[in-house]
Amino acid sequence: MVGNIEAMNYSLSSNGSVNHQNINEEKLDELRRLLGKSDNDPLRIAGVGAGAWGSVFAALLQDSYGKYRDKVQIRVWRRCGRAVDRATAEHLFEVINSREEVLRRLIRRCAYLKYVEARLGDRTLYADEILRDGFCLNMVDTPLCPLKVVTNLQEAVWDADIVVSGLPSTETREVFEEISKYWKERLTVPIIISLSKGIEAALLPVPHIITPTQMIHRATGVPMENILYLGGPNIASEIYNKEYANARICGAEKWRKPLAKFLRQPHFIVWDNSDLVTHEVMGGLKNVYAIGAGMVAALTNESATSKSVYFAHCTSEMIFITHLLAEDPEKLAGPLLADTYVTLLKGRNAWYGQMLAKGGLSIDMGDSISGKGMIQGVSAVGAFYELLSQSSLNVSRHGESKPVTLVEFCPILKTLYKILIKREQSSEDILQALRDENMNDPRDRIEIAQSHAFYMPSLLGPIDS
């Protein structure tokens, strides 16, 4: 009897590790049953795109479920041929030697020598090669678990049950149009989870936003009920280091609830929500204002006062835009502010704004930065400005008879557009926008949004089902 009690206690001890492994296998079995998988047919999960978040997401799945090899196969696709520069190779070597578990892992796999050679300049490393060893090019300070990496897109996705898109929004349409060619003979419809934060603006037949999930739907014909968006207030490297994080998976109830349960881990809590497109758009919107936040921080030597003034104005613009896009914008306040806060604290878009203001980067270098990946906020600035400046969306401002464009309510967005897209102004002008004596109190902008019937469902465009 004592032995049985000890065995029972052990199953719940060791920091819950044994019990947690059982729970993971149960969750995997449950999802397999929902997908109709037979005993000898593994669940196939394919990650498409291996930037920081895409790599971490795949690594989380590998950590949680990869040990059940007869039940699940996890693989990641990334383009081949991306060379690792000399400085990054040297830094990789330093990271390897500073972390004993990583060093031992590479020695066991006979992979250590190639990093020595790369540091000495005798060998060129490639992004897909180091990803197999557990290093993401955009996040080399955080070694991941080794992943199965393929560079042939057809091999990665043709029989996948679940596809996780970690692509930038600017590449989503092109890649999924290619993927659709490999799915023409499929008998079953895959599930697609998009991690992308970015949008495009379309002006015809009416001005509207196109999101990555809509791009995927139009490129592949996969029904929207099988396409979901996952986002939240989190930083990829911190999540992989098991710092506590939250996320939301948004989409049709058929899959969002089972997937939320499947993805949930003790340090990574996944909630679910039905409002897919609005959450997706908000994920892109916060990147816009994160760039400006980085500029303000750099230009004012991290002045708490200046950063708080910026935060007040930028959040009021974001709240204004949510009133245009959502019938019940209050429901978005928590997730939007949380995601904005973490992006301003430690996101790549805020870093990009800082580097522009300090002169460490120039706009001419483009929005794909070595060691950071795609800066999604740049294209989002152009998309939101283009959309909100359309005369067909003009509205009357309180106390004025002449209608104005919606972008006139968003002076920070206007300034970022002139800095990043038109290149008519410099980063310093973001401070002038804040100090403009004609700028309204942020409260006024929120009151305007709340008191006017500004909700414009046409901005999100027709959502095909």
Residues classed as catalytic: 286
- Nearest-CA neighbor of 85 among 114, 124, 58? 124
Beta-bridge partners for 403:
396
H helix runs in 241-303, sequence order: 253-263, 276-299
Name the burial class of residue 204, with classes exposed (0-12), middle (13-18) and buried (19+) by CB atoms within 10 angstroms of its CB.
exposed
Residue the block writes with tokens 């990650």 = 47
- Nearest-CA neighbor of 259 among 354, 348, 161? 161
3-state secondary structure of 169: helix
> Token digits for 16?
């819950």
Rounded Cα gap, residues 12 and 9, in angstroms: 5
- The separation between the first and the last C-alpha atoms of the chain, rounded to the nearest angstrom, is 58
User: Residues 408, 414, 418, CA angle at the centre, nearest 5°?
Assistant: 145
Per-residue CA distances from 242 to 140, 144, 169, 215 (Å): 17, 12, 27, 32
- Nearest-CA neighbor of 155 among 187, 195, 182? 182
Q: Count of residues for the chain?
A: 465
Residue 289 amino acid letter: Y
Per-residue CA distances from 445 to 313, 338, 398, 406, 438 (Å): 9, 21, 11, 12, 13
> Token digits for 45?
């999960």
Burial call 148-168: b when 16+ CB within 10 Å, e when fewer: bbbbebeebbbbbbbbbbbbb
Q: Are the C-beta atoms of 207 and 390 separated by less than 8 Å?
A: yes
Residue the block writes with tokens 């230009």 = 299
